[in-house]
Structure 1
Amino acid sequence: MKVFVVFLLLNGSVFTAKLPSFVTPCKRSDENLIECATNEGRKTLPQILNGVPELKLPNMNPLKLPEVKLDVGKNLKIKLNDLEIFGLENNDLKIFDINVNERKINVKIEFSRLNILSKYDINGRILVLPIIGNGPANITFVDPEFHFKSDLITTTKKSKQYLKMINPKISYTSKREYYVLDNLFNGDKRLGDQMNKFLDENWDEVSKEIGPAVTEVISAIVQIISNAFFNRITMDDLLPK
């Protein structure tokens, strides 16, 4: 299984920036660092999602992506274009654990509802049924919780140390998911309605095939936000001793 996510908001330029004024750094030696980082994350995340120009972070309400591809071998190929992801602002950051000594970062975050509007192109089999079509897609996740983990390394630029994430991993659960694909089977309404009913009745199994695309999108969002700070703000400014 391969997932490809294309982000126009990824900026390859490298520069040093100051910590934004709305962020209060937590000391890495603080015995309550997890609590401090989590509370600070809850406080600053709404402002971060609204965009941070000095860190080249765009407004993510909604988040717009040009393309996501999901390739499940010969059985199923899915491409989503012109995505708009709504609901990132309705979040509950459960834990933000950054451990410089152990070189680990651990994030748990819940959303009340995430809604993805896009154009889709699908061909293959989903579960046991053939599926083909292209058109508008409407995908909704109710109460999803994402768990993101990554290793950390330090890099040195101009005698300054910065943090960098490697080997990111993400998983998620949700209470309910809805998949609506218009114009399936070349616009055959009867077949399209039957397939959408099948997707709705078997959403938990469908999620196992489509879910990897969602986890990759959320993983990339976490990395974009984190690396905007890690790549551009020194470790001593971000997590003073």
Structure 2
Amino acid sequence: MASASQLRKCRVGKKVALNDCLKQTLEDLRPSLRTGIPELNLPRLEPMQVPNLVFQQRDGGVTIESTFTDLTVTGLSQFTTTLIDADPVTNTFRVGLNIPQLKIVGTYNLNGRVFILPIIGDGPFNALLNDVIVSGQGNVRVHRSASGTEHLRISGTAIDFTIHRLNIKLDNLFNGDPILGQTVNLFVNQNSQEILRDVKPEVTRQLGELVEKVMNDALSQLPVDAFLITN
């Protein structure tokens, strides 16, 4: 686990050196996703808890109204950083991550249609997302709090991702009918890439909002002078 004193110092004035340093800092912080850094009030980010997610999709062959609650996401701490590009002049940043596997468990309530199949159900679900490639970009600036401490703030985050393999299991479809439930789960997984293509715009929008919130929750507790040299 990284401590505040162990965080490397990154010099803002030289872009290449800054990006190399920030990339290594992100890698150094990765183990702390499971533990946090108490001395900096940096919270534990894995497992990630998402209390509520409302999803509506009415494009293409997918029409879905669903609510997901009590979501627990694990696997984030296994990421590798493929890109960090922070520009202190334009205050923009880009980031690329590879995540071998994400596991999501929670409960769902769903009513909709996937292509020709009507779907209805509520109950527990789990999903495995394998070989997740994430890219994002946004704006970054230094924010001074009322106490005078400076923190980084991120805004306008746009996220894109690809998932090479997706496996979803929705329990209690059609009030627990085993044949219809198995049929729909099989159909959903056999057509997961087509379904992802249709739902991706809404997923990326909500994922961008979630990533921005999580990052700012963490960064709001991480003083700039803990890891950046600004002069």
Query: What's the TM-score, normalizing by structure 2?
Result: 0.84
Counterpart-to-counterpart distance in 2, 1:218 and 1:88: 15
**Separation in 2, partners of 1:80, 1:137:** 9
Identity over aligned pairs, percent: 24
The one-letter amino acid of 2:169's match is V
Structure 1 residue 77 corresponds to structure 2 residue 65: yes
Letter in 2 for 1:191: L
Shift, 1:214, TM fit: 6.8
Quote how far apart the aligned CAs of 1:49 are: 3.9
1:157 Cα deviation from its structure 2 partner: 3.8
Q: Structure 1 residues 94, 237: closer, same or farther in 2, change over 3 A?
A: closer
Range that drifts further, 231-240 or 50-59? 231-240
Which has the larger share of strand? Answer: 2
Tell me if structure 2 keeps the 8 A contact 1:106–1:148: yes
CA distance 1:219–1:96, shift in 2 (3 Å):
farther
> What's the offset of the Cα at 1:131?
0.8
> Equivalences for 1:117-136 in 2 at 5 Å?
117-136=105-124
Q: Is the 8 A contact 1:25 1:238 kept in 2?
A: yes
**Rounded Cα–Cα distance in structure 2 between residues aligned with 1:228 and 1:201:** 37
Q: How many residues align?
A: 223
Indicate if the aligned counterparts of 1:163 and 1:235 stay in contact, CA closer than 8 A: no
Q: Take 1:81 and 1:194, find their aligned partners in 2: how far apart are those partners?
A: 24
Residue pairs, 1:158-173, within 5 angstroms: 161-173=150-162
Q: RMSD across aligned C-alpha pairs, in angstroms? A: 2.6
CA distance in 2, matches of 1:135, 1:208: 25
Structure 1's unaligned 5+ residue stretches are 1-18
Write out per-residue CA displacement over residues 69-116 of structure 1, whole angstroms, 9 at most, x where no aligned residue.
112259311211111112112111112222221111111111111111
Distance in 1 (CA, whole Å) between partners of 2:78 and 2:19 is 22
What one-letter code is carried by the residue in structure 1 that aligns with 2:38?
Answer: P
CA spacing shift, 1:58–1:236, aligned 2, 3 Å: closer
More off after superposition, 230-239 vs 31-40: 230-239
State the TM-score, normalizing by the size of structure 1.
0.81
Q: Give me the whole-angstrom Cα distance separating, in 1, the residues matched to 2:132 and 2:80.
A: 11
2: distance between equivalents of 1:83 and 1:73? 23
From the two aligned structures, give the one with the greater helix fraction: 2
| Residue range with higher mean Cα deviation, 137-146 or 125-134 | 125-134
